[in-house]
Structure 1
């Protein structure tokens, strides 16, 4: 069935709308990373994106809506990095597998360091809104533990998964955003992964 003229006209308009929305998000991410969320207004975002404030409000109700989109994108990226690392390291020894997963999360956090800091100035798991991510990572980690350790009571798997996910995320945030002066971040990841690996190995 041939496209109608109206349908052909709509496609460029839809594409321009997507481009404008992405420009707003890119501008907001840049400004948040440089100045923090509180000190950036929607007017400033619109000016940086070279659009009118009215155009911005066609896509987002307020600044909070922009923050929500950026936060959800960040959490999705972290989940994808973690999932890829877990699936890609299933055949590795415990220490190496845990280290691979932590490094994947660290890379994602470091690449978005300014935005992560802006979204969670106190750099805590709760502060960035990791609740949804935590639930998804718990499922992945539980499956990983079941594969590595074999059948275990549910409460043991749930407890170990909770400790690994929360301690791992907290350590990754701390190292990525505020690396201790004089300490090698790679060494910190390695030591943390070794600690987890030893702990898991003791339970096999």
Structure 2
């Protein structure tokens, strides 16, 4: 179900759209400050500077507001990484991989606090924001693997994509949230080597 479907009514007038944007921005701030479970509609309304009744005109409960926040966050991640992925199509594998990994880290580093809440407090169900993002990456990488004319047809492209996406996701999120004493370029280089080597092993020998 999309964020718009979670809303009680779709804003049509500029004033209504501005109100929804205020509520979503407030929901994001409250989510980061208080966490998913502790956030309430009263907190969100107060942060937006409106009454709870104004919030309920557009959202039935706090879950709907926070779902909209997370939907937008996931959509932004998908858009940013998709653009990098598409721009890199046709480039040498190592160059394309490095560009995509860099874009993913850039996207995660935009709002580490929100990323932490998403990872640590929101269950990863089938239709959660993280799972939806990962599946979108699965689809793009699977298409790239299957379109490689040098691919070994005996190797399942879907499985390779699924493994790579979740490996890179875990390492990237861990780097952003843990902040280990590692240079960012070194992490990007090592991830690039890992992915490129794995992809190369799935290609036919010359």
Asked whether the two chains share a fold, i.e. TM above 0.5, the reply is yes
The change in CA–CA distance for 1:130 and 1:174 in structure 2 (over 3 A counts) is: same
Give the TM-score normalised by the residue count of structure 1: 0.84
Q: Is the 8 A contact 1:86 1:144 kept in 2?
A: no
- The whole-number CA distance in structure 1 between the counterparts of 2:90 and 2:12 is 48
CA apart distance, 1:135: 2.1
Bigger radius of gyration: 1
Please state if 1:89 is matched with 2:85. Answer: no
The equivalent of 1:158 in structure 2 is 158
Q: What CA RMSD, in Å, does the superposition of the two structures yield over aligned residues?
A: 2.4
The change in CA–CA distance for 1:149 and 1:103 in structure 2 (over 3 A counts) is: farther
CA apart distance, 1:54: 0.1
CA apart distance, 1:25: 0.5
Q: Secondary structure at the match of 2:50?
A: coil
The equivalent of 1:184 in structure 2 is 183
Aligned length: 192
The change in CA–CA distance for 1:22 and 1:154 in structure 2 (over 3 A counts) is: farther
CA apart distance, 1:35: 2.6
CA apart distance, 1:155: 5.4
- The whole-number CA distance in structure 2 between the counterparts of 1:36 and 1:94 is 40
Q: Is the 8 A contact 1:33 1:114 kept in 2?
A: yes
What CA deviation, in whole Å up to 9, does each residue of 1:175-194 have, x standing for no partner?
A: 122222x2123311220111
Counting only pairs closer than 5 Å after superposition, residues 1-204 of structure 1 correspond to structure 2 as 14-121=13-120, 129-148=129-148, 150=150, 152-153=152-153, 156-180=156-180, 182-204=181-203
Q: Secondary structure at the match of 1:19?
A: helix
Q: Secondary structure at the match of 1:64?
A: helix
The change in CA–CA distance for 1:60 and 1:151 in structure 2 (over 3 A counts) is: same
- Give the gaps of 5 or more residues in structure 1: 1-11
